[in-house]
Structure 1
Amino acid sequence: MCGIIGRIHKRSFDASSNASNDVHTSHTSHWPALPEKDILRLSHRGPDGIGQYSDEHIQFGHARLSIIDLSDAGHQPMLSQDGRYVVTYNGEIYNHLELRSELESLGETFISHSDTEVLLVAYKVWGNNCVKRFRGMFAFAIWDRQEKLVYLARDRCGEKPLFYHFDQQSLIFASELKALIPLLDKRPELDSSVVDMYLHYQYVPEPYTLLQGVHKLAAGHSVSLHVKQWTFDPQAYWSVENVIDPIPSSTDSKLILPAIRDALEDAVKMTLRSDVQVGVALSGGIDSGMIAALAQKNYPEPMHAFCVGYPGRPAYDERAQARTLAESLGMIVHEVELPVDSFVDFFPELVTVMDEPIADPAAFGHYAVPRAAADQGIKVLLSGIGGDEVFWGYPYVTQSVELNQQLLDHPSIKFAAQWLGSTSAQLFLNKVAHYPHAHPTIKKWAAILQKVGDTHNPSEQLMYYMLHPDFDGPFALKAEVYGSAMHSLGPDSLFKPTAIGLRSREKIPAAVIRMLFDTWLTSNCLSLGDRVGMAVGVETRMPFLDAKLIELVMQLRANHPDHALGQKAWLRAALKGVLPDEVLSRPKAGFQPPLQEWLSGVVGRYGEMLSNGQLVHSGVLAADKVAHLLENIAKRNWTGLFFTYKLLLLEMWYQRVVAR
């Protein structure tokens, strides 16, 4: 796991034209190496060494965290044996041993034991199709010195980040914004439409960023850029909605659970491959519990387990459940306690660590676990991220499937949408949906009709994000505080990340999973997991996001839909005998920090920085509305507090990451 950075120049280096710029390369045709200070901005991602490579078109840099092949043979940027290709790479190819064997059978040779060299040789042999053979997480750039083209790719789910800026002269890329922004000619302006997205989503959906001209290479995408053609057109090579080789409809349903169980164990075993010690982030839930049980079963010594709790051990503190499971497995348990004051004190540093504004209040807890692991010398940490996304862990996601299918089954509902969208109808339906004495069927249909009538959701899209419990909160609040830069925004820009069109009834479940993967999973969970781990030099691995496991589950449910079976029904059933019954039957708790206290503390201590900050200067916030925001909206209810917190986090991020 590492940090990568680089620049590809359209024109080849001309030493004579750069002589006046104090470039000491008058006798070479190579661009100067990237300054060490630029690479060191990623040293937290790779504290074990840095490397550079340049030629007449490229400048590559690399900060290394040694996980596989700890010797100098794994140093990057790495050149192929024939000198044609050079790579800078961040990630892990878990099936590198199998790929190495296959490539050797084709006549290829290796001089290291690193997965980096396997990646490089795989590209040499299979070209752009190499990414389809990788099981792992990755973001990399490979330069072909002969063809004068660069190939950039990112893993299927987006576990590893890749930011870029492309113009008519150069392509600049980096693992983090903190490293990319200093390489730009000028500080980029905020993109108002993406700011608007962020305030609804609580994160920035890819491929967008908050900065004009800066983008993310989307998950499951790759791109080839030739210096002569100079066109940058990323293409998808994988989507969770379109997995290949569907399993025949005659598949025996009795084989589903054994197949899932085997795939889970195989995924865990793959992610245990490491030349350094591996630990587990453990809560009291099914996802991390499964990983702990199967990891310890396949690990040669007692593993270290890390869990989070709070002073006084309130009801949502899961340390007792986590410890009970870990000790039954023979693990070594480490507890991390998070006082409210610690979150408030650490908030500015946490904003810097996250690199993008991610308003998930669980961020502090997610940071505390790898921090504790690093203190114990653990450089690899297994996480349960992805279990909720693969196995229907969120009620609003299954509700989306059911509602969109209901709309197809009963097309007359849509004809009533115009009336249902009136203020009076919306108020009435909301009361019925929440009336405690109403019949469940009546309450269900009232909720359905209310969502159908909501005028914000585009009619040509599947209903999805309007069902998220926090998404619609900012609509009313924005009108109270938005400044001039936000007044011209169109209503549809919010829904670009989920603008995948409509689907037939049987294809709706896969489409909903795709929207979940493309938004929440990638831009909130995985972005946050990557940054908080890499901030302390700890690599986070997620067995639930193994490509073979995901494809198996998606193929199985294409013929045996499981979204209506109950939360994580397949996963719970497949883990019978792996986890204790009390764990399997335990309701999902999720990460539950004392949110009200944390966010109120942050707004109370740092809120005044909004008064004359970048959001006011750029017209995102109206200057005369900041006091109203802090004194009224922030104290109105949870929605108001969370909205204020998101704005404050955005302001803090701009000052500490962009303007620094």
Structure 2
Amino acid sequence: MVGFFGVLKLEENGRNVEQGGNAFDNTKNDDLNVFENEHIQLGLLGYLDQVDQPLIFGNNRYVLIWNGKIYNGKQLRQLLENRNYTFATTSDEEVIATLFLEYGVGSFREIRGMFSMIIWDKEEKKLYGARDPFGIKPLYYYDQESFLFSSEKQPITTYIGKLPLHEQALADYLSFQYVPPSVTLTEGILSLAPGHYFIKKMDKPVEKHRYFHATLKPVYGNENMIINRIQEALIDSVKVHLPAEVPSGVFLSGGIDSSLLASIARQIQPEIKTVSVGFEEEDYSELSIAQQTAEVLGVENISYTITPQEYIDVLPTVIKLLEEPLADPACVPLYVAAREASNYVKVVLSGEGADELFGGYNIYREFESLKLFNYIPNPLQRIIHWLSNILPDGMVGKSFLQRGTTPLNQRYIGNAKIFEEKEKELILVSKRSPRQSYLHITEELFAHVEGQHPTQQMQYIDIHTWLPGDILVKAERMTAAHLLDLRTPFLDKEVFEVARKIPVECKITDKTTKAILRKAATEFVPPHVVHRRKLGFPVPIRKWLREELVEWAKQIIHDSQTEDYLNKSYVKHLLEEHVTHKRDHARKIWTVLVFMLWHKIYIEDTEI
């Protein structure tokens, strides 16, 4: 694993790449390794093993820096050798370099793996940047007086200095619980979208191109054939993701995804370890299920229980590592799981992507409950919708009527939805710039899936927003913080090719989600897992914000210097209603608290 930062010097400003490199956590890194000429500076920090980067190749024409892992390196090497290329090393770096010499920007689509990379062409004075198909590895850039690029956001802000807060991104954060992909909460700093590459020429605007588009194209076929393809693809993916002779583990919850990975991994590496975390509250803890699963599979399980006090003690560190506010309560248990795993293993398998690809979220079954609205004439639907709007908030049936009479593309923005637009008018106080509704994020995405099955539309939205904006951010950042090499076998190009062709009817039934994956897992995992309802990564935030964390939350709100952006009186009102059981505002309150803590760390420069 590496971290990199660079500057394409479009103007002389007396600064150098070390200023950005100082933002990396140098207690866990080697010294900054720098390549420099009159046009560019590339700085790289190596983690764990020494990395031979920056790599100069192509008769001294190109320079490569990258972070990631290739899983089809042997096949690519053989392909290139058949085209009369020779290799001096066995490194992934040399494969990437040689592949680029042969295919240019077409090389990115040939790679099976996770990566963010930069290639500098000295001859044409042209910079290339690319990010893996699903966005496992991040790549940030800033295109102003200088062009800056980095594997983390903070080196850019350290190099430039203070930049304004992006108010539209804040408004979007309050809806999504994360800052949607491609922008950040810092004005001017952008994130390259998954499956894209950029080309930056001297004194020209950056050009962005898509090389991979994650679309779903169902193909109807024999169910047993589909099951066999799933099994073959997953076994192959786990094999290539699991390194030989390196201590490895699996994050094991009580769900089918991690259990399936653990079962397959054990066949390949019998000494595989599993790591599970949970809470003292039984309704929110899957530790007993995970331990039972590990026992049946015959693998060692390392379990850890998180207390409310430890949770809030760890939270500031987690927010700092994330660099952007992310109000997913599962970030902290994932951090703790990675911390515990790092005591035993160097590589960890995790089940990210299974729900998005195989239809695992309960909301994907929503079309079944809303079918009756298909038989109601549009004029009557409009009347029902009007009546639902005047019903009191929290009244049983209001949400059902509103959802049933609102088109999917006007109400679904992803697996999480926190504040509606009307309520954002109450909580946001800044009027410095016109704000767009959250639909500006999803309307273009819905245009790609118009007319498709509602579940398929939801999957597409989540793959392009929720997955890279929430799921992968927390997984990559929490593991990297403990120098763990994260591997996500479900998010493999070969697995995706199988999953994208599975019809909705095989994924979703009237009783369960991920139906076809459960059938494929039957011969690998115990029955108590196959038939278990999905819980996700439950965290007792709802309970804690009524009991153990009430005073802590009040103090955060009181101390926060966010009056320029948030109506703190309204936030206090939400907390009061939650504490007194008038409403369940846990997710809304948590979203605000995480932003306030982020603001304290990154804007107020206050240690917590």
1:451 is aligned to 2:403: yes
Residue in structure 2 matched with residue 149 of structure 1 by the alignment: 126
Q: Does structure 1 residue 518 correspond to structure 2 residue 494? A: no
**Distance in 2 of aligned mates of 1:310 and 1:568:** 26
2:202 pairs with 1:227: yes
| 1:35-68 residue CA offsets vs partner (Å, 9 max, x unmatched) | 1x632433479635642211222111222234xx
Counterpart for residue 213 of structure 2: 239
Residue 301 of structure 2: aligned partner: 333
Deviation string 1:578-628 (CA, Å, 9 cap, x unpaired) is 112222112212212222344455562254454464421xx3123665654
The change in CA–CA distance for 1:387 and 1:46 in structure 2 (over 3 A counts) is farther
Are 2:1 and 1:4 equivalent residues in the alignment?
A: no
8 Å CA contact 2:364–2:455 kept in 1: the answer is no
Aligned partner letter, 2:295: E
Contact 1:44 1:535 in 2 (8 A): no
Report 1:464-613 matches (<5 A): 465=412, 471=417, 473-475=419-421, 477-485=423-431, 488-490=434-436, 492-502=437-447, 503-506=449-452, 508-557=454-503, 562-564=507-509, 566-599=512-545, 601-602=548-549, 604-605=551-552, 607-611=554-558, 613=560
Look up the equivalent residue of 1:219 and give its one-letter code: P
SS at match of 1:489: coil
Kept in 1: contact 2:414–2:458 (CA 8 A): no
Q: Give, as a single letter, the amino acid of the residue that structure 1 aligns with 2:47.
A: L
Aligned counterparts of 1:337 and 1:428: Cα–Cα separation in 2: 40
CA deviations on 1:556-581 (whole Å, 9 max, x unpaired) are 438x7643463111101111211122
* Alignment partner of 1:289 is 2:259: yes
Letter in 2 for 1:305: T
* 1:107-122 superposed matches below 5 A: 107-122=84-99
The equivalent position to 1:99 in structure 2, one of 67, 76, 80, is: 76
Match of 2:385 among 404, 408, 421: 421
Aligned to 1:615, the other structure's residue is in SS state coil
Residues 63-82 of structure 1: pairs in structure 2 closer than 5 A: 63-66=45-48, 70=49, 72=50, 74-80=51-57, 82=59
Corresponding residue number in structure 1 for 2:589:
644
CA offsets per residue over residues 77-104 of structure 1, 9 Å max, x none?
Answer: 2222622211111111111121122112
User: Structure 1 counterpart of 2:276, which letter?
Assistant: C
Task: Give me the whole-angstrom Cα distance separating, in 1, the residues matched to 2:66 and 2:368.
Answer: 38
C-alpha separation between the residues in 2 aligned to 1:225 and 1:402? 49
1 CA distance for matches of 2:570 and 2:308? Answer: 28
Cα deviation for residue 129 of structure 1 reads 1.1
Question: Matches of 1:599 and 1:99 in 2, distance apart?
Answer: 52
**Aligned partners of 2:70 and 2:112 also within 8 Å:** yes
Check if 1:272 corresponds to 2:242.
yes
CA distance in 1, matches of 2:411, 2:498: 24
- 8 A Cα contact 2:388 2:402, kept in partner: no
Matched with 1:210 is 185
Counterpart residue number, 1:303: 272
Measured after TM superposition, the shift of residue 239 of structure 1 is 1.9
CA contact (8 A) 2:394 2:583 kept: no
Relative to structure 2, which stretch is displaced further, 193-202 or 643-652? 643-652
Tell me, in whole angstroms, the C-alpha distance in 2 between the residues paired with 1:514 and 1:467.
9
**Alpha-carbon distance in structure 1 between the residues aligned to 2:471 and 2:263:** 23
CA-CA distance at 1:269 after TM superposition: 0.8
Confirm or deny: 8 A CA contact 1:47 1:537 kept in the other structure: no
Which range moves more in the overlay, 39-48 or 53-62? 39-48
The change in CA–CA distance for 1:82 and 1:278 in structure 2 (over 3 A counts) is farther
Any conservation in 2 of the 1:45–1:535 contact (CA below 8 Å)? no
Contact 2:216 2:460 in 1 (8 A): no
Distance 1:432 1:531, change over 3 A: closer
Q: CA deviation at 1:325?
A: 2.6
Q: In 1, are the aligned partners of 2:418 and 2:588 still within 8 Å (CA)? A: no
Give the corresponding residue for 2:331.
363
Q: Distance in 2 between matches of 1:276 and 1:658?
A: 41
Structure-2 residue corresponding to 1:173: 149
> Are the structure 2 counterparts of residues 420 and 488 from structure 1 closer, same or farther at C-alpha, using a change threshold of 3 Å?
farther
SS of match in other structure, 1:234: strand
User: Matched residue pairs, number?
Assistant: 602
Cα RMSD of the aligned pairs, angstroms, is 3.1
Distance 1:218 1:479, change over 3 A: same
Structure 1 pair 147/195, CA: closer, same or farther in 2 (3 Å)? same
> 1:381 offset after TM fit, Å?
0.8
Q: What letter is aligned with 2:23? A: R
Residue ranges of structure 2 left out of the alignment (5+ in a row) = none
Structure 1 unpaired stretches of 5+: 24-31, 435-445
Distance 2:580 2:393 in 1: 27
CA distance in 1: counterparts of 2:251 and 2:353, whole angstroms: 13
SS in 1 for 2:282: coil
Greater mean deviation of Cα atoms: 366-375 or 37-46: 37-46
Following the alignment from structure 1 to structure 2, what is the Cα–Cα distance between the partners of residues 629 and 562?
38
Residue 342 of structure 1 pairs with residue 310 of structure 2: yes
TM-score (norm. length: structure 2): 0.90
Distance 1:429 1:343, change over 3 A: closer
> What are the Cα deviations for residues 143-202 of structure 1, in whole angstroms up to 9, with x where unaligned?
1111211111111111111121112x3211222222221122x41212222211111211
After TM superposition, the structure 1 stretch with the greater mean CA deviation from structure 2, 605-614 or 200-209, is 605-614
Give, in whole Å, the separation in 2 of the partners of 1:595 and 1:290: 28
Measured against aligned partners, the alpha-carbon deviations of 1:439-468 in whole angstroms (never above 9, x if no partner) come to xxxxxxx93x421445xxxx6x72552685
1:123 & 1:159 partners in 2: Cα distance? 21
Contact 1:400-1:464 within 8 A present in 2 as well: no
Q: Give the 3 Å change call, closer, same or farther, for CA 431–615 of structure 1 in structure 2.
A: closer
Change beyond 3 A, Cα 1:645–1:357: same
Q: What's the offset of the Cα at 1:8? A: 1.4
Describe the shift of the 1:96–1:624 C-alpha distance in structure 2 as closer, same or farther (beyond 3 A). same
Aligned to 2:173: 198
Secondary structure of the corresponding residue to residue 185 of structure 2: coil
Counterpart-to-counterpart distance in 2, 1:639 and 1:432:
13
1: distance between equivalents of 2:215 and 2:603?
35
Q: Structure 2 vs 1, CA of residues 207 and 381 (structure 1 numbering), >3 Å: closer, same or farther?
A: same
- Tell me the SS of whatever aligns to 2:513: coil
Q: Is the 8 A contact 1:157 1:522 kept in 2?
A: yes
Query: Given the superposition, is the C-alpha separation of residues 555 and 105 from structure 1 closer, same or farther in structure 2, using an over 3 Å criterion?
Result: same
